[in-house]
A = this chain, B = another copy of it.
Amino acid sequence: MRKILIVGAGKSTAVLIEYLLKKAESENLQLIIGDILVENAKQLAGDHARAKAISLDIFNVEERSNAVKEADIVISMLPARFHIEVAKDCLKYGKSMVTASYISPEMQMLDDEVKQKGLVFMNEIGVDPGIDHMSAMKVIDRIREKGGKIILFESFTGGLVAPESDTNLWNYKFTWNPRNVVVAGQGGVAKFLQEGKFKYIPYNRLFRRTEFIEIRDFGKFEVYANRNSLSYKKIYGLEHALTLYRGTVRRVGFSRAWNMFIQLGMTDDSYTMENSEEMSYRDFVNSFLPYSPTDTVELKLRHNLKLDQDDIMWEKLLELDIFNPEKIVGLKNATPAEILQKILMDKWSLGKEDKDMIVMYHKFGYELNGEKKQIDATMVHLGKDQIRTAMAITVGFPVAIAALKILNGTISTPGVQLPITKEVYDPILKELSENGILFEEKEIEYLGYNPLGEVGN
């Protein structure tokens, strides 16, 4: 039996394991599921003959190296910062590995040694990063093979609530790590390229400079810019691209409302608030408003943000019960972002029957034989239930498929990699599409931002 060690029994691991167990007989697999809490691992292993749960503290050198030594390949589903510990053991004991996280500088530094040992360390193979890389590179390579030159690349991804479960004014619920949503856009300016012009959006304007997109019959969405659009020039080899723009998808109206929190300072994660534990939700809001002996917190907020009382933004705040003087934060030494997260989790957590949705939208503008053309590709995936969420499926499936393909030698180019070569994306996208994760493409008229070739600003 070929042993796959899966480290970390987290949210998306259940789907991944389910996928691999279905293939366990035909592929002759044994899954070893390791978690610091063996109960978590046991729950995922169930009583399946081909799954075994073990207690695994990755900071316990002996536990870790024993587990890695035994495996034929390792999948790390740990938080990104912990992969490196596992990676070093994989290198030591000559095992390939798979993660869904961005390649860290420490991981990149292992590249030479990984190549020397003929191993594959496949990273960034979840949904975003992951399916975005593969689906984009597949179209980009096809255009290039025909002799086309990419002049525009835009790519948008969002984890949202499915239309049937879209029941609040924000058209949003937490479908993954809430913390990432609360601090989204922080830590650096959003930088991108439009028609050859470098553009920069500071955090305090990020959620006001959105663009609209339509996705098939799912309707209208909006996109705010990601921080790192320019780095894709090098990763995808887009040296001719005049437009490079990546963003995060939300339902229309979310960003304008979210911007209220940014303007007030509620998303700040850089300092802790005085008396955060005893503070009420109302106190929290009031901390960001001027003192007044008489005016209410409500009026001060409306005045500060210039909200009319019939503005839907105001209704959105009320829906969060954010002015409640009875609800207590109850978090010690909490940052504004942590407190806001707690307030939002009261209202935005997925209910038992709620389903989520992943949307992805790529635009490829290119020149071929002197003509400008455009391909738009969209993917929408809906969650099935609380375990088989769209997020867990679109992260877990590509990870599982990649691990199997590496084990079987279909993917064999050694090194610290991300899935941008045909060898990787072709077989994985094929298998994803057989599992219902697929893109619809259409050729449309080239739009760009300057179709008439004006001077442009």
Interface residues of A (CB under 8 A from B): 188-189, 191, 194-195, 197-205, 209, 262-265, 268, 270-271, 273-275, 286-297, 300, 336, 449-452, 454-457
Contact = CB atoms under 8 A, between A and B. Distances in A.
A287 B194 contact: no
Contact of A452 (B191, B273, B274, B293): B293
A289 B189 CA distance: 13
A302 to B, nearest CB: 13
Contacts of A293: 195, 449-452, 454-457
A8 to B, nearest CB: 33
26 contacts: A189-B265, A189-B268, A197-B286, A197-B287, A197-B291, A198-B273, A198-B274, A199-B290, A200-B336, A201-B265, A202-B262, A202-B263, A202-B265, A202-B268, A202-B288, A205-B263, A205-B264, A205-B265, A286-B457, A291-B450, A293-B452, A293-B454, A293-B455, A294-B454, A297-B457, A300-B457
A178 to B, nearest CB: 21
A201 B199 CA distance: 27
A273 B202 CA distance: 13
Contacts of A294: 454
A185 to B, nearest CB: 12
B195 A265 contact: no
A197 B296 CA distance: 14
Contacts of A264: 202, 205
A306 to B, nearest CB: 10
Given A268-B189, A295-B457, A262 B198 contact: no
Given A268-B189, A271-B189, A457-B297, A449 B291 contact: yes
Contact of A195 (B287, B288, B291, B455): B291
A295 B456 CA distance: 8
A286 B186 CA distance: 22
Contacts of A197: 286-287, 291
A293 B453 CA distance: 8
Nearest to A203: B204
A292 B457 CA distance: 5
A264, A265, A449: residue with the most chain B Cβ atoms closer than 10 Å: A265
User: A205, A287, A291, A336: which has the most chain B beta carbons within 10 Å?
Assistant: A291
